């Protein structure tokens, strides 16, 4: 039992689709799915029956595990993370898990360091501080 032979997210050895397509964080998906659900409610009285189980479970999940709720904060999070040389996949993992220390960040996204893009912990520290400021002012 395994994924593809070489696949390993810790080393950013992930499928092409992750590297080319747009990756979204939980908080971004929460906004999209909420909006979709409202659209469905406007079109029919029976929105609850119109959405699939996959949709429901995903909506519940992203709402529970979103650190940032309001659209402006969500946008700021993406902006802050985009300033660093991160792959979309790595950006999303950081935005989702919201590590508190550089050690935790590196444990969650080991590929950040191995590809030599973010060499010193101070950069990571600054990134995490910027993210928690957004939360403070939400």
Partner 1 sequence: MVFLEAEMSSNVLLSPEHLTPQGLLLRKSIITRLFEDIANKKASKEHGYFIAITSLNSIGEGRVRTLTGDVLFPVNFMCLTQKPTKGEVLTGIVDKILKHGLFLKSGPIDNIFISEKLTGEYKYVPGENPVFLSEKQGKLEKGVSVRFKVVGFRWMEAERHFQLLGSLAGDFLGPI
Q: Name the residues that contact partner 1, by CB under 8 A.
A: 1-4, 7-11, 13-15, 17-18, 21-26, 28-29, 32-33, 36, 50-55, 57-58, 60-62, 64-65, 89, 92-93, 96-97, 99, 103-104, 107-108
Q: Which residues contact 5 (CB under 8 A, 6 or more apart)?
A: none
Cα–Cα distance measured from residue 7 to residue 71, given in angstroms and rounded to the nearest whole number: 33
The pair of structure tokens assigned to 36 is 């979709």
**Contact in structure between 66 and 26 (CB atoms under 8 Å):** yes
Nearer to partner 1, 57 or 69 (CB): 57
Task: Between 16 and 137, name the residue whose CB sits nearer to partner 1.
Answer: 16
| Nearer CB in complex with partner 1: 20/137 | 20
d(CA 49, CA 126) in angstroms, rounded, equals: 45
Distance CA 40, CA 63 (A): 18
CB of 30 to partner 1, least distance (A): 10
Name the residue nearer to partner 1 (CB basis): 76 or 90.
90
- The minimum distance between CB 74 and partner 1, in angstroms, equals 13
In the complex with partner 1, the residue whose CB is nearer, 6 or 137, is 6
CB 65 within 8 A of CB 25: no
Whether 25 and 63 have beta carbons less than 8 Å apart is answered as: no
């Amino acid at each position: 039992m395994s994924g593809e032979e070489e696949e390993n997210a810790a080393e950013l050895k992930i499928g092409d689709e992750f590297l080319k397509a747009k990756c979204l964080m939980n908080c971004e998906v929460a906004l999209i799915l909420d909006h979709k659900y409202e659209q469905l409610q406007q079109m029919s009285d029976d929105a609850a029956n119109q959405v699939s189980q996959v949709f429901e479970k995903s909506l519940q999940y992203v709402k529970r595990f979103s650190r940032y709720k309001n659209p402006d904060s969500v946008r700021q999070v993406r902006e802050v993370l985009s300033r660093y040389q991160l792959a979309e996949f790595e950006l999303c993992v950081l935005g989702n898990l919201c590590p508190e220390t550089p050690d935790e960040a590196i444990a969650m996204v080991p590929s950040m360091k191995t590809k030599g893009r973010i060499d010193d912990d101070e950069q990571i520290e600054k990134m995490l501080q910027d993210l928690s400021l957004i939360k403070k002012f939400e």
